[in-house]
Amino acid sequence: MNPHHFDIDTLTFTAKEIRGDILRMLEKAGSGHPGGSLGMADIFTALYFNILNHSPEDPLWPERDRVVLSNGHICPVLYATLARAGYFDLEELKTLRVLGSRLQGHPSRLDLPGIETSAASLGQGLSISVGMALAARLDKEKHKIFALLSDGELQEGSSWEAANAAAKWQLDNLIAVVDRNNIQIDGNTEDIFPLEPLRDKFEAFNWIVLEINGNDMEQILQVFESALKMKGRPICIIAHTTPGKGISFMENKYEWHGIAPSRIEMMEGLAELRLEEVAYERN
Amino acid sequence: MKGIRAEMKLAPNLFKNPELKATRAGFGSAMTALGESDENVVALCADLSGSLKLGDFISKWPDRFFQSGVAEQNMVNMAVGLALSGKIPFATSFGVFMPMRTLDQIRISVCYNNANVKLAASHTGITVGPDGATHQVLEDIAVMRVLPKMKVIVPADAIETEKATISAAKIDGPVYLRFGRQNAPVYTTKDTPFEIGKINKLRDGKDVAIVACGVMVYISLLAAEELSKNGIEASVLNCHTIKPIDTEALIKAAKECGAVVTAEEHQKSGGLGSAVAEVLVESENVPMKIIGIEDRFGESGESDELMEKYGLTSTNIVKAVKNVLKRK
Ligand SMILES: Cc1ncc(C[n+]2csc(CCOP(=O)(O)OP(=O)(O)O)c2C)c(N)n1
Ligand SMILES: [Mg+2]
């Protein structure tokens, strides 16, 4: 069971709050990665507040669904979502990247409950997810493995070794979500190192492929609900997201892959989110 | 500036607000110089060309730059193919991703082929700061120096980085170059000597020899100043080339001083200290102390906070010297 099970409106608002958290965390830390974090806020919200079987009071509950964040640099969205879902206090978000913090610059499994695997080196999470899916099958456990991947990391050969492996074992307990935001550090993905035709590639590797607008809450919920019922092959959801989503001056700009907003930029971004007004209107 | 050797031509403002610049900046300017002087020099990068300061090279010679995308293993072996076809490729990334992710390619395809590949890694060591442990490579010197045919260079400042890069292009065979992200004092000058495999003795002192590389060289000079106030005179050796190591200079320093302290921004095991110990244990077995990271991962924090926490400070060098002198 999902402990929250929010409706679409509440999910959409929560994603906005998480975007606000991300801006504040990054501004305070003075470094970090807003682009992918903001773009993935809707999917993280849908997972933790509606889709996943999990238990914030018992992060190691054996029956929980596993979320493997492979592109660890977008951990601000993971930390903010975990905090809002009840894994730890929202106050702790302020400690991102600070000496002694559990919120390391990239996720550290040994530091923070709720993190399934330490990550940062791209192209490793899908292999780890395959291992978890194999173990679940071996133990006849029902939980699912959600592998969250970025498009940039599909340039790593190791991602495709894992894709092959998942197909070999027909791991239908594995759902990969690719953040197809078309940015990476040096520029737009299709200019730097083209990935298209991405859907055809996964299909050729014997995966079921579903495509959605990864910033549309209704589509997100629908795709997960249908993916959870599919059988026989691993499932790849190509989620077309807008990097920097919700903050107009960051949207679709690869330059915002990995720099923190200044105080003024944060204020502008928060104003755009209109968190207080929206909260008021909702009541 | 007691003890500082004139022939090293260090900056006169060595201890008075020297200019600050990251070593990787020296790499960028060297690549531009090499681009001009040798059309066989080509560059590769795995989606980090800004961090590696390759912008100028890329805009001047777009055809001689190969963007590999986030695919370091492929990048290293493309560099091997280019080298085996007469090019002088510089493959570049962060140290955690290259050499660490690409070790097999480097061992077999680069080294066993003796391919003329230059590996240039930035963002090495704990000074990477807030990105945390995942990005702070502390093992690269160890794994690179153990490979046959590989040469390993850890420049001390941006100017030395420029010279090291240009020298690496001029010799045949694999070279690993290690740079930092963070701004650091620039205190060598264009007239400071540089030769791959030759230690630069920056300071003369008879009581102890401090052997360091990278950012720890400057910190060692500060420690020597401090020691001098306590009546202890330290030699400071900039051991920019970890391999091939300057055996002769090390033995000479150990003989003259009778005690050695090494300092590096790297795991204690396998790095500069180990390389120095390997030399001395077979010839001039003097009391020695290795300063480095004590078998652990780094973490998020500001560079200077981490240097302090992990004991990579002049205070800690001073302490180590005092201890080692008791064993003389
Ligand atoms: C193996 C590896 N190589 C290089 C990096 C450095 N790096 C961090 S993020 C990134 C960009 C990758 O693109 P993507 O994940 O799509 O970025 P985003 O969409 O979040 O901007 C790179 C190259 C890394 N983390 N891991
Ligand atoms: Mg991307």
- Measured by CA distance, the residue closest to atom 20 of ligand 1 is A36
pLDDT at B70 over 90: yes
Nearest to A182 by CA among A241, A107, A119, A265: A241
What residues of B are in contact with residue A32 (Cβ under 8 Å)?
A: 130
| Nearest Cα residue to B298 out of B308, B290, B310 | B310
State the pLDDT confidence band at B262, using cuts at 50, 70 and 90: very high
| A137 class by beta-carbon count within 10 Å (0-12 exposed, 13-18 middle, 19+ buried) | middle
Q: Which two tokens stand for residue B160?
A: 């030395």
pLDDT in tens, B212-233: 999 999 999 999 999 999 999 9
Residues of B in contact with A155 (CB under 8 A): 47, 68-71
First to last CA, chain B: 27
Contact at CB, B300 and A193, closer than 8 angstroms? no
CB contact under 8 A, A153 and B70: yes
Interface test with B, best of A156, A161, A256 (most B CBs within 10 A): A156
Active site members of B: 72
Per domain, the residue ranges of chain A are: 8-273
Residues in contact with B311: Cβ distance below 8 Å, sequence separation at least 6, in sequence order: B291, B294
Binned at pLDDT 50, 70 and 90, residue B124 comes out as very high
pLDDT digits (tens, 9 = 90+) for B179-197: 999 999 999 999 999 999 9
A148, containing H or E segment: strand A145-150
- ipTM for the whole complex: 0.95
Contacts of B97 in chain A (CB under 8 A): 121
Q: Which two tokens stand for residue A242?
A: 């807008």
Which residue in A has a C-alpha nearest to residue B130's C-alpha? A97
Angstroms from B73 CA to nearest CA on chain A: 8
Mean pLDDT calculated for residue range B164-170: 98
Per-residue pLDDT reduced to its tens digit, A230-280: 999 999 999 999 999 999 999 999 999 999 999 999 999 999 999 999 999
Which of A72, A105, A192 is nearest residue B67 as measured by Cβ atoms? A192
Minimum CA distance residue for ligand 1 atom 17: A184
Nearest ligand 1 atom, CA A257? 21
Structural domains of chain B, with CATH: 6-17+192-326 (3.40.50.920), 20-185 (3.40.50.970)
Residue A65 DSSP code: P
A99 and B299 within 8 Å at the Cβ level: the answer is: yes
Q: A283: how many CB neighbours lie within 10 A of its CB?
A: 4
Pick among B72, B128, B134 to test the A interface (most A CBs inside 10 A): B134
Question: What residues are paired with A69 via a beta bridge?
Answer: A148
Q: What is the mean pLDDT of residues A144-149?
A: 98
pLDDT band at residue B1 using 50, 70 and 90 as cut-offs: confident
- In this prediction, residue A283 carries a pLDDT of 81
Q: Do A108 and B130 touch (CB under 8 A)?
A: no
Q: What is the mean pLDDT of residues B16-36?
A: 97
Residues with C-beta less than 6 Å from any ligand 1 atom? A 33, 35-36, 71, 73-74, 120-123, 150-153, 181, 183-185, 243, 257; B 46-48, 70, 97, 101
What percentage of residues in chain B have a pLDDT greater than 90? 99
- Chain B residues lying within 8 Å of A108, measured CB to CB: 132-133
**pLDDT of the residue at A86:** 98
3.50.50.60, 3.40.30.10, 3.40.50.970, 3.40.1010.10: CATH of A8-273: 3.40.50.970
Q: What is the mean pLDDT of chain B?
A: 98
Which band of pLDDT confidence, cut at 50, 70 and 90, is reported for residue A1?
confident
Residue of A nearest to B303 (CA): A99
Cross-chain residue pair A106–B70, CB shorter than 8 Å: no
Of A106, A123, A155, the CB nearest to B135: A106
pLDDT, mean over chain A? 97
Q: Which of A72, A98, A156 sits opposite B300 (nearest CB)?
A: A98
Written as six digits, the tokens of A66 are: 């596993």
Cβ of A193 and B49 within 8 Å? no
